[in-house]
Amino acid sequence: MTANLTDNSTSVFRLSPLIRITLLSLYLALTVPLPFLAQATAAPTPPALLWVGIIIGFVGLYAVLTERVIVDDQEIQVTYPIWVPRFFRKGWSLPWSDIKSLKPRTTGQGGIIYYFLSQDGKAYLLPMRVAGFARLVKIVQTKTGIDTKDVRPLAQPWMYLILFACTLLLLLVDVWTINTAILGNS
């Protein structure tokens, strides 16, 4: 489901499930072998401490990936569930009438991201990894009158599919690594 209609004039856009699953899987693939390797190599860091760190990191990553964009007749806002502390991920809201323009910026990797510029000169990042991004951009154009025909998502789905496939291969290597660590310790 790309966007949920909560009433006639409010739409909620959540982070794409493909992106969420890919990033959570990659995190697990990169971190889960560490406690096993620490135990197999008698590393000075105890495996239990690594497990605690992995769990805290997973919860933090999951919190970041719960971002939602809510648009209604008055504003666009980026929010997080109530359980995500505001000091960790604050979110923002911007009334449609306060949006002066949408400015592109080049990233260090050569991609293009967009910022809403408000009447008072503040910049707000246009969320580009939501499911239903094309619909979100149409709503932005309708509500602000800004031409958005050239606005494209930062990363295409095929990029995340490739990353997910590589993550699955890494998970296979992880199974071998963990198995070797456990058998080597027996």
* Per-residue model confidence as pLDDT tens digits over 125-180: 999 999 999 999 999 999 999 999 889 887 788 899 999 999 999 999 999 989 98
Stated as kind and residue range, the H or E segment containing 105 is strand 99-106
What confidence score (pLDDT) does residue 22 get? 97
Q: What is the CA radius of gyration of the chain?
A: 21
- Spatial separation of the C-alpha atoms in residues 171 and 157, rounded to whole Å: 21
**Sign (positive or negative) of CA dihedral 142, 144, 150, 153:** negative
How many CB atoms are closer than 10 A to CB 106? 9
**Contact criterion met (CB below 8 Å) for 157 and 116:** no
More confident of the two residues 6 and 80:
80
**Torsion angle defined by CA atoms of residues 16, 19, 22 and 27, in that order, rounded to the nearest 10 degrees:** -120
What confidence score (pLDDT) does residue 7 get? 44
State the chain's mean pLDDT as an integer: 91
CA–chain centroid gap for 133, Å, is: 14
Q: What interhelical angle do 47-64 and 17-31 show, nearest 10? A: 170
Q: pLDDT tens digits for 36-69?
A: 999 989 999 999 999 999 999 999 999 999 999 9
Does the model's pTM come out above 0.95? Answer: no
